A = this chain, B = another copy of it.
Amino acid sequence: MKLNTKLLQQASKSVDKYALYVPKNGVFPRGFQVGSTASGVKKNGNLDLGIIRNTNTSRPAAAAAVFTTNKFKAAPVVVSKQILEDKNGTGINAIVINSGCANSVTGEVGIEDAKKLISHVDSKLGTSMSTLPMSTGVIGQRLHVNKISKGIDEIFDNNKFGSDFQSWLDMAKSICTTDTFPKLVTSRFSLPNGEKYTLTGIAKGAGMICPNMATLLGFIVTDLPIKSSALKSILTHATNRSFNCISVDGDMSTNDTICMIANGAVETKEIDETSQEYVQVQNQVTEFAQQLAQLVVRDGEGSTKFVTVKVQNSLTFEDAKIIAESISNSLLVKTALYGQDANWGRILCAIGYAKLDNLKSLNVDKINVSFIATDGSEPKELKLVVNGVPQLEIDEARASEILNLNDLEISVDLGTGTEEAQFWTCDISHEYVTINGDYRT
């Protein structure tokens, strides 16, 4: 398992991520349209402006969002948060997203710029206060309001809206910055009463590459009717188990936003916290959000591995998550993965310094740590630590096989309870250092 040229070449072997991770068709919810264009903010002429629009009128749409906790909040985050609060999560009919400029660290004028854009969209829709703004791109620069306004005109006046696969794929492309592929996931589910509903999600983010521009954005729309308070709790639950469980470099942008709209186009009773479908929908949205979030981890040019960190049998979910996060963010674990080194010491160390809520979640004599192969090969599990005792005579050949996989899992069994949490992470490579050492200029 020495790091040598052959191994490094293997590790950096080119993968056609577009072919692997971009779908060729999809299913889309009723009552949503999307339109996108190249407004000129991106100098290369790529799509850089998109609008998601609710066209269902059978009942008011519900909307919810989870925003960055960074104290430097970008203008669109401040504005979107305020609108959602003012409207109590109902009656949001559009999201306008521009890429190329994050409208962050732009002060009061940034707020005004964001408001100009949403007023423009609202006037096109014939509504007011029904649009949320979002931006991603370089920070510290003002929005090109004129260019983006012309882009909005272009989308509405030339009716660039559609609800087919290509429209959604273009929408996904329009929010990309340094992403190497657009992120689009769609799924259809059945309710117990036989009605079907659809989830469509787009995301952007590729933290390994250019994290200043690496705002994490995720938008999920559904045609289910969901009460706004229930939507908020479903989205929070899902985000806590998906977008908040990915580690690229541990840094958090000023613009990070996950937003969901439920327009109620499906003819079924509105789902609230007491509905029998509530838990089912929550779980389906959570798994869906995990698929979307995992694509962000996949999209790291500097990374060679996709690693699931699963912490099981914890006293509390929160502590399982804290431990999974500590392992996932450990620079030493990430470099060991890159070097394909079965280094249990670094994993234990990262577990040991995790800042637990409840010290009883971790009993150093009960812990089990394994690598898990994900390619179906046997033995699937390679035990590194058993009941707190490191296995000094591990099967190095098998370790080498597992660590050579592009996808693998680190499994931690705490043996102190029944809760579990997962994180998704990637390795840190030479290319990561090269890319991140040479970004701004």
Contact = CB atoms under 8 A, between A and B. Distances in A.
Nearest to A331: B249
> How extensive is the interface on chain A, given as a class?
35 or more
A397 interface: no
Given A140-B392, A251-B349, A341 B211 contact: no
Contact of A211 (B211, B332, B352, B434): B332
A211 B346 contact: yes
A212 interface: yes
A107 interface: yes
Interface stretch (A30-38, A69-77, A116-124, A125-133): A69-77
Interface string A240-257: 000000000111111000
A272 to B, nearest CB: 33
B441 A249 contact: no
Contacts of A249: 331-332
- Give the oligomeric copy count: 2
Interface in A327-343: 330-332, 335-336, 338-339, 341-343
A139 B385 CA distance: 13
A304 to B, nearest CB: 11
A40 interface: no
A433 B437 contact: no
Interface string A343-379: 1111011111100100100101100000000000000
Nearest to A365: B107
Interface in A398-441: 428-430, 432-434, 436-441
Contact of A437 (B139, B254, B336, B345): B336
A293 B364 CA distance: 30
A135 to B, nearest CB: 14
Interface centre among A141, A331, A341, A364 (most CB of B within 10 A): A331
Contacts of A396: 441
Nearest to A72: B352
Contacts of A330: 250-251
A349 B253 contact: yes
A22 B214 CA distance: 43
Interface in A156-190: none
Nearest to A359: B71
Contact of A441 (B211, B341, B365, B392): B341
Contacts of A364: 71-72
Given A251-B350, A349-B72, A392-B140, A1 B433 contact: no
Contacts of A332: 211-212, 249, 251, 436
B440 A433 contact: no
Given A348-B72, A349-B72, A430-B430, A336 B439 contact: yes
B2 A343 contact: no
Contacts of A346: 211-212, 251
A353 B252 contact: yes
Contact of A345 (B139, B341, B362, B438): B139
A429 B439 contact: no
B349 A254 contact: yes
Given A212-B345, A353-B252, A433-B430, A107 B440 contact: no
Interface of A: 1-3, 69-72, 105, 107, 139-141, 211-212, 249-254, 330-332, 335-336, 338-339, 341-346, 348-353, 356, 359, 362, 364-365, 388-390, 392, 396, 428-430, 432-434, 436-441
9 contacts: A1-B440, A1-B441, A70-B349, A140-B392, A141-B392, A332-B436, A343-B440, A345-B440, A432-B433
